[in-house]
């Protein structure tokens, strides 16, 4: 664990030496295995918005304790005045259109019994009076002593609701640059308040197809 505590200091020293500045990043969307084996590293896919108008280098940062895995990535950005290049129109503020699609490895989690750990990350949080980056719980991961179920991937983050030309509702991680197909929503009747909502749920293969597909997103909560 000591090496993890040194990450911010090491990053600061590197930034000072290179003329770069540290800019905390925030996670807009995250996917990870619903179950993992004990003491075995696993990966989480994330969408992380780029710093506006600056050249930057992405740096992952992750730590764990007895209750949670916490991701706190950051960027090393060039100092000086920002230079903005022409870009496509942005989505509705405050969710940027352009995001880095990346994978970060989480450390293996130690336990003597099967149990869950929270999956947390720095996220953009807006309230009626202020906006800020804060650590937020995206969901949880179950650690098994053996034979984890690999059929599901948990997921959470900010989404946009997209309805295709045949009326099929899909959730699309905000900031995703690929064609807007997204994940088919398992409950097609439950779409209220999903556009730019923070959701939690899981991706799985369902027994019966919805909108002609069996791979879909099961919604558990929305904020």
pTM > 0.75: yes
Residue 99 has what pLDDT? 85
Which token pair is 160?
A: 């946009």
- Inter-CA distances, 27 with 52, 86, 197, Å: 15, 24, 14
Q: Which residues, listed in sequence order, are joined to residue 210 by a DSSP beta bridge?
A: 213
Tell me whether residue 26 is in a domain. Answer: yes
- Ordered DSSP codes for 136-182: EEEEEEEEESS----S-EEEEEEEEEEE-TT--EEEEETT--S-TT-
Give the pLDDT confidence of 98-115 residue by residue, as tens digits: 789 999 999 999 999 999
3-state helix, strand, coil in the chain (%, to 5): 5, 50, 40
**Nearest by Cα to 81 from 39, 53, 60:** 53
Task: Please tell me the distance from the alpha carbon of residue 19 to that of residue 4, in angstroms, as a whole number.
Answer: 23
Query: Is 178 among the domain residues?
Result: yes
pLDDT tens digits, one per residue of 55-112? 889 999 999 999 999 999 999 998 766 656 554 444 444 444 578 999 999 999 999 9
Q: Is residue 209 part of a domain?
A: yes
Please give the residue range of the domain that contains residue 108: 2-10+20-78+88-222
The number of folded domains in the chain is 1
Asked whether residue 124 is domain-assigned, the answer is yes
> Is residue 15 in a domain?
no
**pLDDT score at 94:** 43
Least confident of 63-77, 95-109, 156-170, 208-222: 95-109
- Residue 83 in any domain: the answer is no
The SS3 call for residue 205 is strand
């Amino acid at each position: 664990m000591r090496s993890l505590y040194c990450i911010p200091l090491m990053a600061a020293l590197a930034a000072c030496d290179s003329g770069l500045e540290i800019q905390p990043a925030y996670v807009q969307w995250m996917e990870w295995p619903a179950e993992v084996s004990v003491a075995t590293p696993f990966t989480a896919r994330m969408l992380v918005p780029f710093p506006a108008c600056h050249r930057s280098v992405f740096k992952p940062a992750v730590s764990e304790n007895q209750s949670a895995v916490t991701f706190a990535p950051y960027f090393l950005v060039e100092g000086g005045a920002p230079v903005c290049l022409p870009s496509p129109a942005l989505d509705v503020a405050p969710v940027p259109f352009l995001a880095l699609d990346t994978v970060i490895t989480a450390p293996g989690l130690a336990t003597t019994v099967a149990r869950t750990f929270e999956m947390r990350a720095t996220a953009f949080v807006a309230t009626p009076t202020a906006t800020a980056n804060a650590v937020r719980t995206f969901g949880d991961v179950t650690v098994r002593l053996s034979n984890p179920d690999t059929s599901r991937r948990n997921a959470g983050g900010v989404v946009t609701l997209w309805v295709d030309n045949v009326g099929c509702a899909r959730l699309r991680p905000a900031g995703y640059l690929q064609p807007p197909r997204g994940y088919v929503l398992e409950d097609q009747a439950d779409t209220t308040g999903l556009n730019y909502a923070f959701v939690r749920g899981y991706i799985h293969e369902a027994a019966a197809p919805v909108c002609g597909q069996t791979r879909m997103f099961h919604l558990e909560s929305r904020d």
